């Protein structure tokens, strides 16, 4: 039964967001409900349990379809590939107690808000549902459920200041509080009984319960008891773990739910301040932030003053972040659209700590509550922990399919059992028990547990190596990674930058370079002032804190920050300003100090930051610092040197980080807070270039070489300059010396909707040329470095160069490099070219956080398994989106990433891939073993059923507990192989080698068991009725004596056996059981694959000792003839020759199994030959595209420009929407 989306019955919830869902309306029907209740009673609760597992069936059975407006039950379905259903009851919220008269209706200003549109008249009720802790109310005008608990996005900047600037009235606040609920991120500690019931109702444990009941009915007490003990232990451990997590999460959020805050209330046009507990806050409330440290209980938009915030809880970076107030822009754009990517600079996020506040003219720092409760950034983070996104991996889907095959296999066995026992006149009850028993044999109840053991051990090994994992399901995915995206700064290169030199500019000419550390200090002037004030540094806990680049630049001036108190600056009222003054080691300066009056913080989108500063007793000036190209564009053309581009290229081509500096004087009389960023950052005077050195980390090159040798692609995704990025990529070995780099540039054509794209090759230049040039300019680097430089090839380049490049391109030895701007234009206007560019794209520079996430997703669309390794907040979205995100941040708060490395180097990447591959292979080994063990036992039981016989209880117990359980626990101990081979393990169970391995081993087992079963009946000593004839006849022949005492002894023995024979003893039973038991050990050994992904099996000492011990016991059971032991194990004595024959059969099976596994299944050249013979091509999108491009001689086009059609694909939403739900997507959601 499925859903047919009909008008008004169906809608979408959270459209375009990560947690998008489909919603269907249903109405409960009395007669249907009564029938279902009768079904619950008649089925003894089985129907209720089925409905618990399948909520959609519950809704379809109890309810009828209706419009969402009439619905009292809604059915939700996720729009991802899992299509998970959930059922929610519609609740009604009454606001009649708050709205006594027409005057109490939400104010006119609120007529366009969801609060007024949700109140039904005249009942004054609001219809709502709660999904994943977020409340949605029914909008009676839009006829849809809308999220509440957040300020609407349609408000403009000026509207936020006007509507909420003086606070809400008491009535508005009360209505909002009732509709939105309290501002709490409430995670109650789940009671143990609830956890216990939820765990016990898991289908796996229900199947175990069914198995145990059946075993008790068959007097299989020992194993049933063992399973009960193991299951209870597993349940209690799981419940304890879940309880601990629940307590931990509760403690994490508990402290934020009750913070005393000051709010501004609007009473009859007058504002008054009021202190209250934070859980009373509602969207639109006006918060007043006082001096000192404050923990934020909600998300809020800063509308006056300035704040410095520690956002490490969200980003993992403890660098203080400066927040500025929302501008009072008078336009019709919604505030977030107006602020573009910079809107976060005005938002204070819940759970972060305000370290410092700076008031403006009004004297107070005010913020409007933007989101409350689970709608906040922290609420989103907590929800991502409470409701993790299910992982889609072929292994788990195939495991489920394989399980279905085993169930089908079991069904065949059941039919066979019923036929055999019914035809032989067995009692109906016995027939039912025996047939049901086949299910518990064919479908191993321990399979899910066995699959997770490998992951648990891998997680433990990773922890020892300093890699922490919060998403264990992703470990297996790491074994499939074939492309890794690396951030540059702090990941491939050292985190800290060293100040290398300063290239000042005067009268549009570059002056002599000033090197650091220099013998003489930097002279006083505009450049010095820019270095002293153009930063966002603060003094926190006695130390200068902030961006490492800012710290290095400021330390070079030898000035100090005087941030002890507010400073009254002329014409600025009571403005609190940061003042920088000359330090003890500073060179003499003609000023007492410089005050930083206002900041425009660094923006990734704008690639710059600016400050308004004033010398004490002097004039106001603007200082700007950022990407040199961007800064130069903002400067007056006559102040920028003519050789600006060549000089910039000279340094960036050597891998230096270059920063542009500029300034201008401001007119007196204008308040700095009234100026817009556009006004401030225009008509600047170019001051020069600050050159910083960013060295590669020691581990970078060897790691990238190792990945390259393993055929794992490395891609650089950075916010830095494209020339610097290309040079670092070459120095790191990401781009080899013989390969060519092609610069892809895309630009929008002014005045039209079309765009152009150009391919320019970058030519290698001899290092000596640059060395000579560097020496001539006094530029020789201090440390010996190998420089490779990159310059665009001019159109008039010599034919030899063109031929050389074409030769490299023909062999596929080329790499594309592009900027974030070009990437976005390609994604919008040249969508068909994007996959081709990504196939050889190695350097992506000047990428914004949204673009990084988008790039990872585009790689995934090409069927790459993508890993992302980064260390900054700008990598959060990409870390979350990637198949395996690895954070190098030292902060444990980097919750965006499934993996976090304690050591901040990329050495953890190959380590994780190695362990992932080992875990994946272990999962396959365990799966194959569990499937074979159950099939071996199943075949043995069906053979014996033919004679109305079966294995005895202790025989089952020995196989299930002493053999399989112990092997299942120890097989996964094998560690990862230290070398990464240039191919990956298979990603799916339904693959020819794996299926062939299982099928052939089943055939070997079946052949051996059938052979033993048939041949034992052909032996001269075999008797169907006398189970002691074999040893009696042998003994008589050997002793050649008819002594009465001997006969008396045998008589006693027969009598003893006659007393304890429970019907299981037979020659067939003994033969089949011994063969199948040792066969389990054979497949365990054969399937314990070592190289190339795991260490050789002999390194797993515990497993080897276990196998030797088990084999020893089994051989003892084969050759021993101890009456009590044989009696207990339901075995009978057989002649020594037959025992040796059984050992030979087992040896032949071992040899055949081992030979097939090594010569066929693990023979990679053979499978490659078969693929070639049958012309099998990979289904991966990127591999098919590679084949197409290899045949295309016109690709890539060099020194050519293409133009797009006028129609562009809008990807603005996607660029910002591919973000982590804990921090980014919550703000990027429309």
Catalytic (active-site) positions? 487
Locate tokens 């106001």: which residue? 620
DSSP-derived secondary structure letter, 90: -
Locate tokens 């020995």: which residue? 958
Bridge-based pairing state of the strands 899-901 and 144-147: unpaired
Q: Using alpha carbons, list the distances in angstroms from residue 476 to 359, 395, 917, 1193, 1220.
A: 52, 9, 7, 39, 22
Instruction: Please report which residue ranges of 739-798 form alpha helices under DSSP H.
Output: 767-776
Cα maximum dimension of the chain: 131
CA distance 883 to 860: 9
Element (H, E) at 263: strand 260-267
Locate tokens 């092997």: which residue? 967
Nearest to 1212 by CA among 702, 844, 704, 851: 851
CA-CA-CA-CA dihedral for 1038, 1041, 1044, 1049, to nearest 10: -10
Q: What is the token pair recorded at 220?
A: 């299989």
Kindly report the CA angle at 392 between 388 and 396, in degrees rounded to 5?
Answer: 110
Quickly count: other Cβ atoms within 10 Å of residue 561's Cβ.
20
Nearest to 634 by CA among 657, 659, 661, 612: 661
Q: Could you tell me the strand order of the sheet in which 321-324 lies? A: 294-295, 353-358, 306-310, 321-324
Collect all residues with Cβ–Cβ distance below 8 Å to 37 and sequence separation of at least 6: none
Bridge-based pairing state of the strands 620-626 and 608-615: antiparallel
Are 845 and 485 in contact, with CB atoms under 8 Å apart? no
Bridge-based pairing state of the strands 594-603 and 608-615: antiparallel
Distance of CA 1164 to the CA centre of its chain: 32
Distance of CA 841 to the CA centre of its chain: 23
Element (H, E) at 87: strand 85-89
Are 1104 and 1097 in contact, with CB atoms under 8 Å apart? yes
Are 368 and 286 in contact, with CB atoms under 8 Å apart? yes
Coil, helix or strand at residue 584: coil
CA distance 212 to 219: 10
Are 515 and 697 in contact, with CB atoms under 8 Å apart? no
Q: What is the token pair recorded at 728?
A: 């670092």
Q: What is the token pair recorded at 304?
A: 């006056």
Are 830 and 755 in contact, with CB atoms under 8 Å apart? yes
**Strand-pair partners of 551:** none
Nearest to 479 by CA among 913, 910, 886: 913
CA distance 764 to 965: 62
**What's the sign of the alpha-carbon dihedral 1162, 1163, 1165, 1168?**
negative
Q: Using alpha carbons, list the distances in angstroms from residue 952 to 219, 487, 1028, 1122, 1131.
A: 10, 62, 18, 17, 9
CA distance 58 to 436: 28
Strands (E), 311-417: 321-324, 347-348, 353-358, 365-371
CA-CA-CA-CA dihedral for 635, 639, 645, 647, to nearest 10: -130
Query: DSSP assignment of 785-843, as one string?
Result: ----EEEEPPTT--HHHHHHHHHHHHTT-EEEEEEHHHHHHHHHH-GGGHHHHHHHEEE
Helices (H) and strands (E) in the chain, counts: 43, 43
Q: What is the token pair recorded at 8?
A: 């008004």
């Amino acid at each position: 039964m499925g859903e047919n989306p009909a008008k008004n019955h169906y809608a979408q919830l959270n459209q375009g967001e990560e947690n998008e869902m489909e919603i269907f309306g249903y109405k409960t029907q009395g007669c249907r409900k009564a029938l279902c209740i009768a079904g619950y009673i008649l089925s003894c609760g089985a129907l209720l349990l089925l409905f618990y597992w399948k909520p959609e069936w519950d809704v379809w059975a109890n309810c009828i379809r209706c419009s969402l407006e009439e619905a009292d039950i809604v059915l939700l379905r996720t729009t991802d590939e899992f299509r998970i259903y959930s059922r929610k009851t519609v609740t009604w919220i009454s606001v009649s107690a708050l709205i006594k008269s027409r005057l109490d209706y939400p104010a006119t200003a609120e007529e366009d808000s969801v609060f007024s549109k949700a109140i039904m008249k005249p009942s004054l009720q609001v219809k709502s549902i709660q999904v994943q802790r977020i409340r949605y109310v029914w909008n009676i005008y839009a006829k849809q459920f809308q999220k509440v608990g957040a300020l609407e996005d349609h408000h403009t900047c000026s509207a936020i200041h006007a509507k909420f600037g003086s606070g809400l009235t008491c009535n508005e606040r009360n209505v909002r509080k009732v509709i939105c609920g309290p501002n709490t991120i409430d995670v109650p500690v789940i009671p143990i009984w609830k956890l216990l019931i939820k765990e016990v109702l898991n289908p796996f444990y229900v199947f175990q319960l069914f198995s145990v009941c059946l075993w008790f009915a068959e007097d299989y007490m020992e194993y049933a008891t063992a399973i009960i003990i193991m299951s209870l232990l597993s349940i209690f451990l799981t419940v304890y773990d879940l309880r601990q997590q629940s307590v931990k999460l509760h403690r994490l959020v508990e402290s934020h739910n009750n913070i005393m805050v000051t709010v501004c209330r609007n009473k009859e046009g007058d504002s008054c301040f009021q202190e209250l507990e934070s859980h009373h806050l509602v969207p639109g409330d006006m918060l007043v932030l006082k001096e000192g440290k404050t923990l934020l209980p909600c998300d809020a938009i800063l509308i006056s003053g300035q704040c410095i915030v520690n956002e490490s809880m969200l980003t993992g970076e403890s660098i203080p972040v400066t927040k500025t107030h929302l501008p009072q822009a008078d336009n019709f754009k919604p505030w977030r659209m107006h602020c573009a990517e910079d809107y976060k600079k005005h938002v204070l996020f819940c759970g972060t700590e305000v370290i410092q506040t700076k008031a403006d003219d009004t004297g107070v720092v005010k913020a409007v509550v933007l989101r409350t409760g689970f709608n906040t950034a922290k609420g989103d983070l907590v929800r991502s922990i409470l409701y993790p996104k299910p992982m889609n991996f072929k292994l788990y889907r195939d495991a489920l399919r394989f399980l279905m095959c085993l169930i089908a296999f079991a069904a065949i066995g059941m039919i066979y059992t019923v036929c055999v026992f019914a035809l032989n006149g067995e009692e109906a009850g016995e027939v039912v028990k025996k047939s049901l028993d086949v299910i518990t044999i064919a479908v191993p109840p321990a399979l899910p547990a066995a699959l997770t053991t490998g992951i648990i051990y891998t997680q433990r090994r990773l922890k020892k190596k300093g890699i922490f994992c919060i998403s264990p399901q992703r470990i297996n995915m790491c074994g499939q990674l074939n492309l890794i995206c690396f951030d540059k700064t702090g990941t491939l290169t050292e985190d800290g930058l060293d100040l290398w030199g300063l290239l000042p500019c005067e009268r549009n000419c570059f002056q002599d370079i000033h090197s650091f550390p220099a013998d003489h200090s930097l002279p006083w002037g505009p450049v010095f002032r820019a270095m002293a004030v153009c930063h966002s540094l603060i003094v926190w806990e006695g130390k200068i804190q902030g961006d490492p680049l800012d710290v290095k630049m400021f330390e070079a001036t030898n000035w100090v920050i005087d941030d002890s108190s507010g400073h009254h600056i002329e014409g600025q009222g009571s403005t609190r300003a940061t003042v920088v003054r000359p330090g003890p080691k500073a060179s003499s300066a003609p000023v007492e100090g410089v005050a930083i009056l206002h900041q425009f913080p660094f923006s990734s989108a704008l690639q710059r930051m600016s400050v308004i500063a004033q010398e004490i007793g002097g004039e106001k000036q603007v200082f700007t610092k950022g990407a040199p190209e961007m800064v130069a564009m903002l400067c007056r053309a006559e102040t920028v040197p003519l050789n600006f581009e060549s000089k910039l290229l000279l340094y960036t081509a050597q891998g230096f980080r270059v920063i542009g500096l500029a300034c201008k004087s401001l007119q007196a009389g204008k308040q700095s807070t009234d100026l817009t960023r556009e006004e401030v950052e225009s008509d600047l005077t170019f001051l020069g270039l600050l050159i910083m050195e960013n060295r590669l980390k020691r581990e970078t090159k060897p790691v990238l070489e190792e990945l390259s040798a393993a055929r794992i692609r490395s891609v650089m995704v950075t916010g830095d300059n494209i020339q610097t990025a290309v040079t670092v990529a070459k120095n790191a070995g990401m781009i080899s010396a013989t390969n060519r780099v092609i610069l892809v540039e895309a630009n929008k054509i002014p005045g039209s909707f079309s765009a152009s794209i150009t391919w320019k090759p970058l030519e290698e230049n001899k290092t000596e040329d640059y060395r000579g040039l560097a020496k001539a300019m006094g530029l020789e680097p201090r440390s010996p470095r190998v420089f490779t430089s990159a310059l665009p090839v001019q159109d008039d380049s010599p034919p030899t160069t063109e031929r050389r490049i074409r030769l490299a391109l023909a062999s596929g030895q080329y790499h594309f490099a592009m900027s974030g701007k070009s990437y976005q234009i390609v994604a919008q206007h040249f969508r068909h070219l994007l996959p081709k560019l990504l196939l050889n794209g190695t350097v992506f520079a000047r990428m914004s956080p949204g673009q990084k996430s988008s790039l990872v997703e585009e790689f995934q669309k090409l069927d790459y398994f993508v890993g992302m390794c980064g260390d900054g907040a700008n990598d959060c979205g990409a870390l979350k989106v990637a198949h395996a995100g690895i954070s190098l941040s030292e902060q444990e708060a980097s919750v965006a990433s499934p993996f976090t490395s304690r050591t901040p180097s990329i050495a953890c990447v190959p380590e994780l891939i190695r362990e992932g591959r080992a875990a994946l292979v272990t999962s396959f080994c365990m799966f194959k073993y569990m499937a074979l063990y159950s099939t071996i036992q199943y075949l043995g039981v069906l053979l014996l059923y033919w004679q109305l016989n079966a294995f005895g209880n202790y025989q089952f117990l020995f196989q299930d507990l002493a053999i399989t359980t112990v092997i299942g626990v120890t097989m996964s101990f094998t560690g990862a192989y230290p070398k990464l081979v240039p191919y990956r393990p298979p990603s799916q169970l339904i693959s020819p080698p794996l299926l062939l391995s299982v099928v052939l081993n089943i055939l070997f087992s079946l052949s051996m068991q059938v052979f033993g079963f048939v041949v034992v009946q052909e032996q001269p000593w075999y008797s169907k009725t006398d189970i002691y004839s074999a040893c009696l006849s042998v003994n008589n022949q050997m002793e050649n004596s008819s002594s009465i005492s001997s006969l008396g002894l045998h008589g006693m023995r027969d009598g003893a056996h006659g007393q304890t024979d429970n019907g299981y003893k037979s020659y067939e039973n003994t033969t089949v059981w011994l063969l199948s038991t040792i066969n389990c050990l054979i497949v365990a050994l054969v399937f314990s694959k070592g190289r190339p992904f795991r260490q050789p099996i002999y390194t797993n000492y515990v497993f080897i000792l276990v196998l030797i011990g088990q084999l020893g016991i089994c051989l003892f059971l084969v050759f021993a003839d101890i009456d009590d032991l044989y009696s207990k194990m339901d075995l009978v004595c057989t002649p020594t020759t037959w025992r040796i024959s059984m050992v030979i059969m087992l040896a032949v099976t071992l040899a055949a199994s081992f030979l097939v596994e090594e010569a066929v299944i693990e023979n990679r050249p053979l499978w490659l030959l078969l693929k070639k013979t049958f012309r099998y091509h990979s289904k991966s999108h990127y591999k098919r595209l590679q084949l197409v491009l290899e045949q295309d001689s016109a690709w890539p086009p060099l020194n050519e420009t293409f133009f797009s059609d006028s129609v562009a694909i809008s990807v603005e939403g996607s660029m910002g929407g591919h973000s982590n739900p804990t921090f980014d997507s919550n703000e990027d959601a429309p």
